[in-house]
Structure 1
């Protein structure tokens, strides 16, 4: 299919919106609003499985590339949203402003380099390393996603990181230390930053909502029976498949985000215990 830019954007947006919905929702997260400071909230995980799922899905959202045939982007959901923010095919006036801010904030957070200190008993190594948060996310998310036989790439990446910081560790020893890394990252680092991460993703969901609301307002039509409804397709929708994606996207807009917008307390925007004293 030779899809128009609007058709491709609607497909990409729907994919990204559904990916965020799978991360920030009340089935995975326990959102506890502050009783003292309006607008603030804390995020807790239902259990350890949901904690792992949260990290895996954020990694997929931020890093895993999809097929460009439908969206026109050979990249992750973040890459798709960056293109939306530039081209804004379905937006009106300045409706993309909040989405653009949310995407930039998430990218800045992921790209931020974070120095941490790790005690790796398997290697008898007390290491200080500094890499971007997305690199930590790749280690933790892939370790939760795959069994140890599938983690060759992660092991090579860890060895490279250690080597760049002056620690010479044989590659064959790295798989034995993956559990040490996972304990530090998933059980400490990403647990501390979970509320902030959830806020960043939730703001993207709200950004998509604000971006699409003007289009939804003109596309949504009540039927004469007073109960059913339909959506009018914007100009540029010529194929059945993207029309179905558009209908799906508008229904998500009709439903709205699962979680209210919230702010992370300042105490959870500082340093995890792995970063103290560095």
Structure 2
């Protein structure tokens, strides 16, 4: 499909925005304002199903590759955001600064390495390992998404991590220990960091909002009846499929993000209990 860079950016931004909307919303998350400090909030899960879905969707946003023919990017939503920040085809007068900051913060968080201590009773191993947060997200998200018969790749990844840290465990035993890992990660690590994770994604959503608001202001044209409206397409958006995506994107900007901006308390940006004393 021969799309312009501007058309690909509009499509990619719409994909990213909708992916964030599926994660940061009041149906999936219980966002409670803090009484201790203005602007702070805490994120809770209504049940374990919502918690698992949050982790699965976060993983998809960070790692799942989309259709490069549409977006021009052979990578995840995080990679699409990198490309948007580099090209800024739809930006006006430096409107990308908030999005650049949000994308940078999210990527840094995902790539940050963490040292953790994991008691794995199935293997009789008390492991001390250091891996990036995205690796933990891959283990936990895929474990929640698939049954054990579909987790060969996760098992191989865990075996590699343990081997790299000096733990000699037969690979055929790893599937039996997946529940041990999941207990530490989903029921501890990602509960502790959930508020911060939600904030990072919410900042991406607001960054997209701020990036596109100047364009929305010039594109939006109300009808004479007070109800209808249309959007003028920017230069570089000419193909019908791209116009439909652009219209869809502008409607998202028109409706605004689902969750107000909030900040994570500093006490939830330190260490989970499996990181203590390391």
Sort the TM-score into its range (normalised by shorter chain). over 0.9
Residue equivalent to 1:163: 163
Residue equivalent to 1:252: 252
Q: What secondary structure does 1:183 align onto?
A: helix
Residue equivalent to 2:8: 8
Structure 2 counterparts to residues 79-228 of structure 1, below 5 A: 79-228=79-228
Residue equivalent to 2:28: 28
Please list the CA deviations of residues 144-200 of structure 1 after superposition, one character each: whole Å capped at 9, or x if unmatched: 000000000000000000000000000100000000000000000000000000000
Q: In structure 2, how many angstroms separate the alpha carbons of the residues matched to 1:173 and 1:35?
A: 47
> 1:50 Cα shift?
0.6
> 1:236 Cα shift?
1.3
> 1:5 Cα shift?
0.9
Q: In structure 1, how many angstroms separate the alpha carbons of the residues matched to 2:111 and 2:75?
A: 16
> 1:94 Cα shift?
1.0
Point out the more displaced range, 225-234 or 172-181: 225-234
Name segments (4+ residues, structure 1) moved above 3 Å.
Answer: none
> 1:87 Cα shift?
0.2
Q: What secondary structure does 1:81 align onto?
A: helix
Residue equivalent to 2:266: 266
Q: What secondary structure does 1:169 align onto?
A: coil
With structure 2 as the length reference, what TM-score do the two structures score?
0.99
> 1:46 Cα shift?
1.3
Please list the CA deviations of residues 198-253 of structure 1 after superposition, one character each: whole Å capped at 9, or x if unmatched: 00000000000000000000000010111111111111111110100000000000
Q: In structure 1, how many angstroms separate the alpha carbons of the residues matched to 2:41 and 2:242?
A: 37
Q: What secondary structure does 1:235 align onto?
A: coil
Structure 2 counterparts to residues 43-54 of structure 1, below 5 A: 43-54=43-54
Q: Which sections of structure 1, spanning at least 5 residues, go unmatched? A: none
Residues paired across the two proteins, number: 278
> 1:98 Cα shift?
0.4
Q: What secondary structure does 1:242 align onto?
A: helix
Q: In structure 2, how many angstroms separate the alpha carbons of the residues matched to 1:9 and 1:183?
A: 39
Q: Which sections of structure 2, spanning at least 5 residues, go unmatched? A: none
> 1:36 Cα shift?
2.4
Residue equivalent to 2:240: 240
Q: In structure 1, how many angstroms separate the alpha carbons of the residues matched to 2:42 and 2:8?
A: 36
Please list the CA deviations of residues 102-143 of structure 1 after superposition, one character each: whole Å capped at 9, or x if unmatched: 000000001000000000000011000000000000000000
> 1:67 Cα shift?
1.6
With structure 1 as the length reference, what TM-score do the two structures score?
0.99
